[in-house]
């Protein structure tokens, strides 16, 4: 029995690493392989047990998205009727958006069945996620120390990536034109920062809950991953750690936590001193841009785009235009909230964001454990903050983490099931 659980844990570690980071091992997108595995696993379990069991709390996640889905489908039908010449755009937006919820449903249900079949509790899943984070951390460190490892990892992206842009960036990294792209993932830029921010912040919250000095220190060291790949990730990690710490304010551990902060500062400057000058300049520019933004002195750099040039609005604010700006005005917008307005309109965006808010709020309210409450809030804050930078709803690693972790938290102690035979 023990060996079976260990073997299941190892398989789940491999599965989660591939699902979260979707490395380009094959000449097709890893996300489709993950979806097929989830669908096959769920189907096989239903055949084996001849019944489908749904946790009511899991179902409540998707009930929160029901108003948005109904509104969105109706809105796209209206767009097609009014402007049939652009029907392909509206249908593509419809398909792409519904895929997000289909993926979230399959991943959440797969998490539930894996946990039930292998006697995994939420603490087991979170421990496995920490191991997955550690594996990626080792990959980043190896890529930093050994240029050949970095070249090898990037070769998967160059050879198999579905994105020509990501393949070109990996090629530029290998040729020394950019000092980023360290690790084993299909996207080592903003997406990597978002994903690692969630993983590191969750790990830090676990350390705070257990008052485990080692976990907290390792979490600090893990910040190296976004540091050398995505400046946005550093900001998100800092916010995530701050939010998580707010749940554990305790005078008795104050000096220990101050010691961790001092360690983090010292470690940061040690690492900074060993990075290439071009990367230090890139990090310094990001810090300067953020300082100017926070001091309300203006928007420069990346902020001039997401809070300036990106502020272009659809022809219909209420209904939206049923597609992204690049589909209509040949301009690529990064800001996720603006992209939502174009895709779904003001009403659709409000309903969509309410669905996510409802998911995080439900998780927070229905769990009795402080750690789970902290994790629910931390993931929610990172999710909504990152939307200012990029349209991240379809980020597959994000879907796995958001729907997977929230599902595990919600359903661990749920004894109320809906059974379909």
50 or 178: which leads in pLDDT: 178
Residue 299 has pLDDT above 70, yes or no: no
Least Cα distance to 320 among 95, 69, 75 occurs for: 75
Residue 407 has pLDDT above 80, yes or no: yes
Helix, strand, coil % over all residues of the chain, rounded to 5: 75, 0, 25
The residue whose two tokens read 């969105």 is 72
**Structure-token pair, residue 321:** 């235009």
Side-chain-facing half-sphere of 200: CA atoms under 13 Å: 30
**Structure-token pair, residue 223:** 């910040």
- Residues 334, 156: Cα–Cα separation, whole Å: 26
Convert the pLDDT of each residue in 167-226 to its tens digit: 998 998 888 788 888 999 999 988 999 999 999 999 999 999 998 889 998 999 999 999
- Residues 400, 389: Cα–Cα separation, whole Å: 20
Per DSSP, 84 falls in state G
Residue 420 has pLDDT above 80, yes or no: no
381: Cβ–Cβ under 8 A, 6 or more apart, which residues? 239, 240, 243
Q: Are 172 and 178 in contact (CB under 8 A)?
A: yes
For the segment 31-56, the average pLDDT, to the nearest whole number, is 84
How sure is the predictor about 260, in pLDDT bands with cuts at 50, 70 and 90? confident
């Amino acid at each position: 029995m023990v060996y079976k659980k260990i073997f299941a844990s190892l398989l789940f570690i491999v599965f989660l690493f591939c699902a979260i980071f979707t490395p380009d091992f094959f000449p097709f997108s890893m996300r489709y392989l993950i979806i097929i595995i989830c669908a096959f696993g769920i189907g096989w379990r239903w055949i084996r047990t001849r019944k489908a069991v749904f946790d009511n709390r899991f179902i409540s996640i998707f009930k929160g998205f029901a108003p948005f889905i109904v509104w969105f489908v109706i809105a796209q039908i209206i767009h097609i009727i009014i402007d049939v010449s652009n029907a392909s755009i509206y249908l593509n937006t419809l398909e792409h958006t519904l895929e997000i919820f289909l993926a979230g449903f399959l991943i959440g249900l797969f998490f539930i069945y894996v946990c039930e079949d292998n006697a995994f509790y939420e603490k087991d899943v979170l421990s496995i996620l920490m191991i997955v984070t550690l594996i990626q951390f080792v990959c980043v460190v190896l890529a930093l120390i050994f240029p050949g490892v970095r070249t090898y990892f990037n070769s998967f992206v160059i050879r198999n990536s579905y994105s020509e842009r990501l393949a070109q960036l990996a090629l530029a990294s290998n040729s020394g034109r950019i000092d980023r792209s360290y690790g084993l993932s299909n996207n080592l830029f903003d997406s990597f920062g978002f994903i690692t921010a969630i993983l590191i912040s969750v790990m830090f919250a676990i350390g705070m809950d257990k008052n485990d000095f080692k976990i907290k220190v390792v979490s600090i060291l893990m910040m190296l991953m976004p540091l050398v790949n995505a400046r946005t990730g550093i900001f998100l990690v800092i916010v995530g750690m701050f939010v998580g710490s707010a749940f554990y304010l305790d005078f008795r551990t104050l000096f220990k936590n101050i010691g961790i902060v001092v360690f983090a500062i010292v470690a940061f400057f040690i690492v900074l001193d060993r990075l290439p000058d071009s990367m230090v300049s890139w990090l310094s520019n990001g810090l300067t841009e953020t300082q100017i933004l926070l001091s309300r002195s203006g928007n420069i750099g990346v902020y001039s785009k997401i809070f300036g040039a990106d502020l272009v609005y659809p022809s219909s604010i209420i209904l939206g235009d049923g597609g992204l700006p690049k589909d209509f005005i040949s301009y690529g917008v990064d800001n996720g909230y603006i992209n939502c307005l174009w895709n779904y309109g003001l009403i659709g965006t409000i309903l969509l964001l309410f669905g996510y808010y409802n998911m995080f709020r439900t998780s927070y309210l229905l769990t009795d454990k402080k750690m789970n409450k902290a994790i629910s809030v931390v993931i929610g804050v990172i999710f909504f903050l990152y939307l200012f930078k990029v349209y991240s709803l379809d980020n597959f690693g994000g879907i796995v983490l958001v729907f997977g972790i929230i599902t595990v938290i919600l359903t661990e102690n749920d004894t109320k099931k809906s059974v379909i035979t």
